[in-house]
Amino acid sequence: MIKISVSIDVTDLKRAEEFYIEVLGCKKVRDQGSSMSVITTENCDIYLQEKEAGTKAIPSSDIVRDYKRHWTPVHIDFLADNVDDIVEKVIQLGGLHEGGESGDWGAIAYCSDPFGNGFCIINE
């Protein structure tokens, strides 16, 4: 069996903990050294890793970390009962709400954390 976890690189570990705990209601599980902590949702562990901008993302490549707003085809969707409540918290804690859509199927909000990492909040 495979369990999924998510790693999120950030420039300020304490600020990231506050953001994800307050916005999503995550719980802190543990610290892993001074530059990583593990938080959890109901069904997924999230590893917050403090990494400086400009450092190599992987040793075998010239790709470096960049915390400007970015998008990747692989991203996180958080399923929630109330999208609007979470969007309000995202904004209060320094994240961005970048639009959304709604229809008979529910609602989606496009957001990013204070470190440029994009994610969506979707009605469950």
For residue 12, give its domain range. 5-51+67-123
Amino acid at 70: H
Note the pLDDT of residue 78. Answer: 94
Query: Which CATH number does the domain housing residue 119 bear?
Result: 3.10.180.10
Q: How many residues does the chain have?
A: 124
Note the pLDDT of residue 90. Answer: 97
pTM of the model: 0.88
Count of domains forming the chain: 1
Cα–Cα dist 42/17, whole Å: 16
How confident is the prediction for the chain on average, in pLDDT? 93
Please identify every stretch of the chain with a pLDDT value under 70, giving residue numbers as ranges. none
Whether residue 57 is contained in a domain is answered as no
Whether residue 58 is contained in a domain is answered as no
Whether residue 73 is contained in a domain is answered as yes
Note the pLDDT of residue 43. Answer: 86
Whether residue 31 is contained in a domain is answered as yes
Note the pLDDT of residue 42. Answer: 85
Note the pLDDT of residue 71. Answer: 77
